[in-house]
């Protein structure tokens, strides 16, 4: 009861901003800034997808690497943009997406844990938020082979698939075994790492301790490669519908499902500190009428904004009328750009952080 009262008091407090400003950027795109007690600085976009084109953009148009949200927005001519999903920082795979990511029907990353995602089609029909996982199936000459991951670092005992949008090569260490698949045929086999990835091809990369029977694969082998998207529950479309989505962006965790705030994040394996500590946050939500809501909450700046816990963020997104909502990457990544300007206050000392991808809003 005490928790319920505290969250509702917080929600009511957030709805009474000390300072408030709002602006219609273009028909179908509205920006709002709220400054409240605690203190909190919150930037909000409301988008009518019937009037504004919503897209997902990869940094540098590559499978790895990072770029600022403002640079992505300028390069794509976006009216507004926010940061998107989580990503790896540092190393050769700096900027590699760490959640499910599909851009213009191309897979950049999958999800091996049940994690939240938002998906939508182009031309726009509708959007869904749910928890997803992906499972890959691969066989050579009818014999099944393991797939431990997709477009990510490969361990010594693992088998990982890479596709041509990942990078120019697999960036794997020497000592493995790599097979290039084009269509349904094997076109190259080599005991090596860092194999170049031809256009429209996959590379099946196995580490030196992988149990995969790679010596049985030949240049004449016939290949069957497929995947399935597994969705937790059926509240937001079917697995087939998700596969028809041109854009899918991963986050974690799902904050609101079917109008109800999620209180247990165990299914998504979210760390307790990430849940309960106040941080800068970025969230995306959907209203019953199809309106999108993006919120960027500044944090780690005691004089300006202390950030939110995930429970506070969920309450806030519900107060904005969202019936479903998803937490995106936050911390120093949280960025909102409108008309080419960063309007929030990113928490990194260096300023705007280069990110893996961005959700962008384009004129029709």
Check residue 20 and give its pLDDT: 86
Secondary-structure percent of the chain, ordered helix, strand, coil, rounded to 5: 15, 40, 45
Task: State how far the Cα of 171 lies from the Cα of 195, in Å rounded to an integer.
Answer: 7
Supply the mean pLDDT for the chain: 93
- Domain boundary among the residues 191, 208, 226 is at 226
Do both 282 and 213 map to the same domain? no
Q: Report yes or no on 20 lying in a domain.
A: yes
Number of domains making up the chain: 2
Q: Report yes or no on 360 lying in a domain.
A: no
Q: Which residues of the chain have pLDDT under 70?
A: 1-16, 233-239
pTM for the whole thing?
0.94
Do both 219 and 277 map to the same domain? no
Alpha carbon 30 to its chain centroid, in Å, reads: 23
In SS3 terms, 33-77 reads as EEEECCCEEEEEEEECCCCEEEEEEEHHHCCCCCECHHHHHHHHC
The tokens of 216 are what?
A: 């049985």
Do both 140 and 220 map to the same domain? yes
Check residue 23 and give its pLDDT: 96
Check residue 13 and give its pLDDT: 47
Check residue 242 and give its pLDDT: 92
Instruction: Give the model confidence (pLDDT) of 8-52 as tens digits.
Output: 445 544 555 777 899 999 999 999 999 998 899 999 999 999 999
Q: Report yes or no on 278 lying in a domain.
A: yes
Nearest to 313 by CA among 273, 251, 269, 261: 261
Q: Report yes or no on 348 lying in a domain.
A: no
Do both 220 and 140 map to the same domain? yes
Check residue 232 and give its pLDDT: 82
Residue 306 backbone zone (phi > 0: left; psi -120 to 50: alpha; other: beta): alpha
Q: Report yes or no on 206 lying in a domain.
A: yes
Q: Report yes or no on 182 lying in a domain.
A: yes
- How would you class 263 by CB atoms within 10 Å of its CB: exposed for 0-12, middle for 13-18, buried for 19 or more? exposed
From the CB of residue 244, how many other CB atoms can be counted at a distance below 10 Å? 12
Give the largest CA-CA distance in the chain.
Answer: 70
Q: Angle formed by the axes of helices 2-14 and 310-319, to 10°?
A: 60
Check residue 204 and give its pLDDT: 98
Check residue 169 and give its pLDDT: 97
Task: State how far the Cα of 323 lies from the Cα of 164, in Å rounded to an integer.
Answer: 37
The residue range of the domain holding 158 is 136-226
In DSSP terms, 363 is beta-bridged to: 52
Task: State how far the Cα of 345 lies from the Cα of 314, in Å rounded to an integer.
Answer: 21
Q: Report yes or no on 69 lying in a domain.
A: no
């Amino acid at each position: 009861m005490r928790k319920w009262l505290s969250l509702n008091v917080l929600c009511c407090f957030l709805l009474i901003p000390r300072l408030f400003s709002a602006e219609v950027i273009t028909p179908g795109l509205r920006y709002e800034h709220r400054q409240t007690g605690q203190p909190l600085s919150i930037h909000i976009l409301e988008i009518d997808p019937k009037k504004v084109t919503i897209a997902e953009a990869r940094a540098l148009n590559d499978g790895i690497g990072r770029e600022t949200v403002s640079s992505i927005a300028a390069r794509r001519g976006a009216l507004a943009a926010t940061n998107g999903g989580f990503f790896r920082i540092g190393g050769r795979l700096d900027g590699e997406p760490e959640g499910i990511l599909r851009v213009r029907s191309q897979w950049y990353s999958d999800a091996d844990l049940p994690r939240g995602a938002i998906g939508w089609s182009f031309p726009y029909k509708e959007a869904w938020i749910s928890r997803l996982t992906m499972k890959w199936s691969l066989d050579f000459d009818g014999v099944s082979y393991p797939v431990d991951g997709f477009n990510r670092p490969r361990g010594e005992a693992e088998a990982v698939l890479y596709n041509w949008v990942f990078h120019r090569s697999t960036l794997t260490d020497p000592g493995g075994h790599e097979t290039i698949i084009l269509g349904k045929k094997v076109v190259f086999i080599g005991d090596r790492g860092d194999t170049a990835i031809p256009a429209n091809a996959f590379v099946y990369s196995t580490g030196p301790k992988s149990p995969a029977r790679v010596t049985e694969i030949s240049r004449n082998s016939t290949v069957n490669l497929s995947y399935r998207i597994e969705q937790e529950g059926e509240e937001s479309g079917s697995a087939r519908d998700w596969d028809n989505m041109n854009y899918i962006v991963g986050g974690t965790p799902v904050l609101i499902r079917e109008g109800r705030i999620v209180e247990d994040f165990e299914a998504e394996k979210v760390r307790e500190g990430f849940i309960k500590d106040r941080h800068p946050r970025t969230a995306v939500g959907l209203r019953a009428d199809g309106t999108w809501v993006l919120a960027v909450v500044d944090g780690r700046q005691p004089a300006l904004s202390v950030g939110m816990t995930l429970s506070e963020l969920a309450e806030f997104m519900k107060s904005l009328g969202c019936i479903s909502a998803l937490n995106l990457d936050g911390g120093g990544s949280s960025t909102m750009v409108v008309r080419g300007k960063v309007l929030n206050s990113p928490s990194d000392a260096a300023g705007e952080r280069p990110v893996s991808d961005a959700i962008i809003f384009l004129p029709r």
